[in-house]
Structure 1
Amino acid sequence: MRTIRLGTRASALATTQSRHVADLLTAATGATVELVPIVSYGDVATGSLASLGGTGVFAAALREALLRGECDVVVHSMKDLPTAAHPGLSIGGIPARERQNDVLCATGGRALAALPPGARVGTGSPRRAAQVRRVRPDLVVVDIRGNVDTRLRRVAAGEYDAIVLAEAGLRRIGRTDEISEVFPLEEWPTSAAQGALAVELRQDDLDGALGEALRSITDPVAAATALLEREVLALLEAGCTAPIAVSATAVGGEVRLHAEVYSADGREVARARATAPLAALIPVPAHPAPAALIPAPLTTRARVATAVATTLLAEGATFLAEGASTLAEGATFPAEGASTPADTPEPRS
């Protein structure tokens, strides 16, 4: 196979993730993989992610470069990828998933319960903000931008008492020593597809050697759980900045799905759970359309996701629209000051 050009954002986390995928592709095919750095609008713009239109702003530049032929594949943090299909592109590979949990990184190694009233907790995620407020309404949740290293430095400098991040990102860049508490998924579900990577390619390449290479690095359990979570998110017609948590875990031969929707202040929550056989959720490519990583409607995945989304809406998740409006107006977080282009902001780490 010829050299594969892999488009990536230039941040440390994005580059680490892309190198991981590059190594998988080389091991599977023997091909040389060249990383192609791409700068997105989200990397240089200031303001909260919600005001910029959500973390989909990071995916847009990668997708445009792929369609222009500047690269052959691109790697996304799957939780930051919009659920709507992009014309001309398809998810071709989903490698093995990292841990899905959120973690707290706090001064003095403190847990969330040990933080004093009025402590400043930084997050760029409305979902995490709502979860913190629900557990500790006496804390001050503050918007934060910047890459993982920048955020950790700001905690060390005393600008924040704690920040909430994805465990997966810290594991990938070797910073797990910064973790003071890991939130259990049973009590603190996370974003749809958190910890998963999505490798996207042009649809015209799905049937060729490149599409086959991406299928060869796909982990069936990662694909089953991440795609199920994203299906729930899509059915709720919510984007990746909405205060929604959807976590699916494989336990033996069963997948357990847990979803929650929050009001922006965390006071209201709707919950739903479901289980399904793992084997029925694993996407099986169908000849002659390898794009069938995403099965047709009315599959087990669609039925389970529909049942969960219906329960959430019936239990009052309609307050989501009001919460999303508040986020768009920038009223959810106290301002922490604009980030600078030098910070190279990450998607919601």
Structure 2
Amino acid sequence: MTSTVRIGTRGSALAVTQTTTVAEALAAAGGVDYELVRIKTEGDILKGSLAQIGGTGVFVAALREALLDDRCDVAVHSLKDLPTGMAEGLRIAAYPARVDVRDALCARDGLTLAELPAGAKVGTGSPRRAAQLRAARPDLEVIDIRGNVETRLGRVRGMHGPEVIEGKKGDLDGVVLAAAGLSRLDRTETITELLDPAVMLPAPGQGSLAVECRTADATDGSALAKAMQDYDDEATRLSVTAERALLARLEAGCSAPIGALATLAGDVLRLEAVVCRPDGTRLLRSSLETNSPDMEAATGLGARLAEDLLAKGAGELTPLAGS
């Protein structure tokens, strides 16, 4: 490994910002220099809804190819974008400490979800958010949108972002985005309400990043390998392992209308999940917990909760390959 670590990232402002945070931490811990390698992914090129273009895995494949082709040494992903299946030859070497897991409403005139008038138009590109929005407020009109954070904010009446889609400026009353992304971009002033997980359960892995590298580089004893080991946060790893094990057992894509959140309190790991009918007319919610968790217990917790949801009819609400 050279003294300069090449760190792969998508080119969006959010991706570059969060990758830079990781790069600076690893460089400081390992005593190495870094350079960012911008990788264009299919998800950055293709148009249409997330489900139509193949789910969130379209944001990951090109970064993984760059690792395997030795065009970069490390790749940084938003964990909720990462498919549950591991890529041969690669390993997630670190899960940095998780930040805010909640979804955020950014609405005109400072309105909260309860205050939005009937018929208000709220945008999201996530089937999970859309279903839970419709469940909480069936009188709203939920609009499917794409684009980066500034483009989406620019569609809210009264909010002005530098990037605006022609003919789609100020056409919405609000949008729902991840609080973590808004915080990383220093745009928290646009948040009019942080949505309680009791109303909107986040996506598995939301608020977390994944630092991926070639398997050999994770264990070669180098300064980078040691830095990644030290950067890994155990509580985050346990929590997201449970969430992703649930998703894997359900065999649901990352764009499925499923929310999951694991929390570690003392020696108790608790996992809550929701499976939604896309139109929001029915939600199936359940939770389980385990004591003194390790990685095996966290994985088992996710699988057991998935089995519980399937037994209660989760497969009747949305297509699940695991049902």
Per-residue CA distance 1:4-45 (angstroms, 9 max, x = gap)? 100001111000110010111012111111111111111121
The alpha carbon displacement at 1:116 in A equals 1.3
Give SS of 2:285's match.
Answer: strand
CA distance in 2, matches of 1:42, 1:219: 28
| Residue equivalent to 2:88 | 87
Shift of residue 218, structure 1, vs aligned partner: 0.4
Higher relative contact order (CA 8 A, sep 6+): 1
Q: What is the CA-CA distance between 1:322 and the residue it aligns to?
A: 3.9
Structure 2 equivalent of residue 129 of structure 1: 130
1:323 to 1:205, Cα distance in 2 relative to 1, 3 A: closer
Structure 1 residue 321 displacement after superposition: 4.3
- What's the counterpart of residue 276 of structure 1? 290
Q: Would you say the 8 A contact 2:91–2:215 is kept in 1?
A: yes
Does residue 215 of the first structure (1) align with residue 229 of the second (2)? yes
Query: For structure 1, which runs of at least 5 residues remain unmatched after alignment?
Result: 284-298, 325-349
The count of residues paired between Structure 1 and Structure 2 equals 307
Question: How far did 1:323 drift?
Answer: 8.2
CA shift at 1:254, angstroms? 2.2
Residue 318 of structure 1 pairs with residue 315 of structure 2: yes
Are residue 199 (structure 1) and residue 196 (structure 2) matched? no
- Distance in 1 separating the partners of 2:175 and 2:81: 19
Structure 1 counterpart of 2:232, which letter?
T
SS of the counterpart of 2:239?
A: helix
Q: CA deviation at 1:303?
A: 2.3
Match in the other structure for 2:238 = 224
Alpha-carbon contact 1:6-1:22 (below 8 Å) kept: yes
Give me the whole-angstrom Cα distance separating, in 2, the residues matched to 1:240 and 1:114.
30
1:320 CA displacement: 4.4
State how 1:96-111 maps to structure 2 within 5 Å.
96-111=97-112
> Is 1:175 matched up with 2:187?
yes
CA contact (8 A) 1:271 1:315 kept: no
Asked if the contact 2:272–2:288 (Cα under 8 Å) also holds between the matched residues in 1, the reply is yes
Structure 2 distance, partners of 1:302, 1:39, is 32
**Aligned residue in 1 for 2:165:** none
Query: Is the contact between residue 191 and residue 244 of structure 1 (CA under 8 Å) also seen in structure 2?
Result: yes
Q: Identity percentage over the alignment? A: 49
Q: Secondary structure at the match of 2:286?
A: strand
Q: Which amino acid aligns with 1:258?
A: E
**Residues 67-82 of structure 1: pairs in structure 2 closer than 5 A:** 67-82=68-83
Instruction: State the match for 1:114 in structure 2.
Output: 115
Alignment CA distance shift 1:73-1:183 (3 Å): same
2:80–2:204 CA contact under 8 A, matched in 1: yes
Q: TM (normalized to structure 2)? A: 0.92
- What residue is the counterpart of 1:261 in the other structure? 275
Q: How far is 1:234 from its partner?
A: 0.4
Amino acid at match of 1:198: A
Kindly state the Cα deviation for residue 316 of structure 1 after the two structures are TM-superposed. 1.1
The answer to whether the 8 A contact 1:78-1:193 is kept is yes
SS at match of 1:90: strand
Q: 2:16 & 2:276 partners in 1: Cα distance?
A: 32
Q: How far apart are the structure 2 equivalents of 1:323 and 1:127?
A: 14
Q: Cα deviation per residue 1:108-167 (whole Å; 9 max; x = unaligned)?
A: 110111111111110000000000011111111111111101111111342111111110
284, 303, 308: which is aligned to 1:306? 303
How far did residue 302 of structure 1 move? 2.7
The residue type equivalent to 2:227 in the other structure is A
SS in structure 1 of the partner of residue 263 of structure 2: strand
* Contact 1:243/1:320 (8 A) holds in 2: no
Which residue number corresponds to residue 331 of structure 1?
A: none
Does the 8 Å contact 2:133/2:200 carry over to 1?
A: no
Q: Amino acid of the residue matched to residue 16 of structure 2? A: T
Q: Runs of 5+ in structure 2 lacking a partner? A: 160-168
Partner in structure 2 of residue 239 of structure 1: 253
SS at 1:318 equivalent:
helix
Separation in 2, partners of 1:311, 1:268 = 17
Runs of 4+ in 1 over 3 A off after TM superposition: 320-324
